[in-house]
Chains A and B, each alone.
Chain A
Amino acid sequence: QQQVKQSPQSLIVQKGGISIINCAYENTAFDYFPWYQQFPGKGPALLIAIRPDVSEKKEGRFTISFNKSAKQFSLHIMDSQPGDSATYFCAGVFNQGGKLIFGQGTELSVKP
């Protein structure tokens, strides 16, 4: 019930293309959905986040689309760049205590 399922496990995109990563959740007690970006040798860092009462949030080239009825959300990276190559984790956060439940992660590689 606490799971967040993420796909694909890995993704290869050409420079300038659109990267799309999908997540689904079961637990309706989540009330915030962040995406974290992790570079090799570093800890995860917050990239962008959305509340479930919002259907879309855009920050620069990064957009979250959220479908509350389907319990699904996705990250779109427009004009993907080699510097975007990293592992991306979606997560759900419980209101009480802020515990993060992460998806399995997507390793993105953007080819020049």
Chain B
Amino acid sequence: EPEVTQTPSHQVTQMGQEVILRCVPISNHLYFYWYRQILGQKVEFLVSFYNNEISEKSEIFDDQFSVERPDGSNFTLKIRSTKLEDSAMYFCASSAGGGSTDTQYFGPGTRLTVL
């Protein structure tokens, strides 16, 4: 069964460093998402992406964040200058359609630890 994959599974970085989190969505999906989950808290929407453009972003997704689909398979989240409060589990998701009933399939997540 097709699945969303994410690398790395765990990333440790120093405050102020740039990190790139990578995702390979399900191959025929067209809509891509990033969510994050701070330890012990709920999963929060960061950004949605379709047709090589950001469709929507949350207030969390400030100028330090960017997303890119550099080729036909990868979808990346870049944090330019990490802060302590960026420490969280980051989930990538993809769906075939962008409607409310289109199932979003989540990857296993990347745990980001900012020291």
A contact residues around B44 at 8 Å (CB): 102
Give per-residue flags for B74-101: 1 if the beta carbon is below 8 A from chain A beta carbons, else 0: 0000000000000000010101011111
**Please, how many angstroms separate the alpha-carbon atoms of A97 and B4 in the complex?**
19
Known contacts A43-B108, A100-B35; is A95 also within 8 Å of B100 by CB?
yes
B contact residues around A97 at 8 Å (CB): 48, 55-56, 98
Q: Is residue B41 within 8 Å, beta carbon to beta carbon, of the partner chain? A: yes
Cross-chain contact of B43 among A34, A95, A98, A102 (Cβ < 8 A): A102
Are B45's CB and A95's CB within 8 A? Answer: no
- Among B95, B104, B106, B109, the one with the most A-chain Cβ atoms within 10 Å of its Cβ is B104
Beta-carbon nearest neighbor of A34 in chain B: B103
Q: How many CB-defined contacts (below 8 Å) exist between A and B?
A: 65
Are A93's CB and B100's CB within 8 A? Answer: yes
Beta-carbon nearest neighbor of B6 in chain A: A43
Are A89's CB and B43's CB within 8 A? Answer: yes
Q: Is residue B107 within 8 Å, beta carbon to beta carbon, of the partner chain? A: yes
**Please, how many angstroms separate the alpha-carbon atoms of A104 and B41 in the complex?**
6
CB of B47, distance to nearest CB on chain A (Å): 9
B contact residues around A98 at 8 Å (CB): 31, 33, 48, 95, 97-100, 102, 104
Say which size band chain A's interface belongs to: 20 to 34
Are B106's CB and A32's CB within 8 A? Answer: no
Cross-chain contact of B45 among A41, A43, A101 (Cβ < 8 A): A101
Are B56's CB and A43's CB within 8 A? Answer: no
The chain B residues found within 8 Å of chain A, CB to CB, are 4, 31, 33, 35, 41-45, 48, 55-56, 91, 93, 95, 97-109
Given known contacts A43-B109, A45-B106, A103-B42, what 19 new A-B pairs fall within 8 Å (CB)? Answer: A30-B100, A32-B100, A32-B101, A43-B91, A44-B91, A44-B106, A51-B101, A89-B42, A98-B95, A98-B98, A98-B100, A99-B45, A99-B48, A100-B33, A100-B43, A100-B104, A101-B45, A102-B43, A105-B42
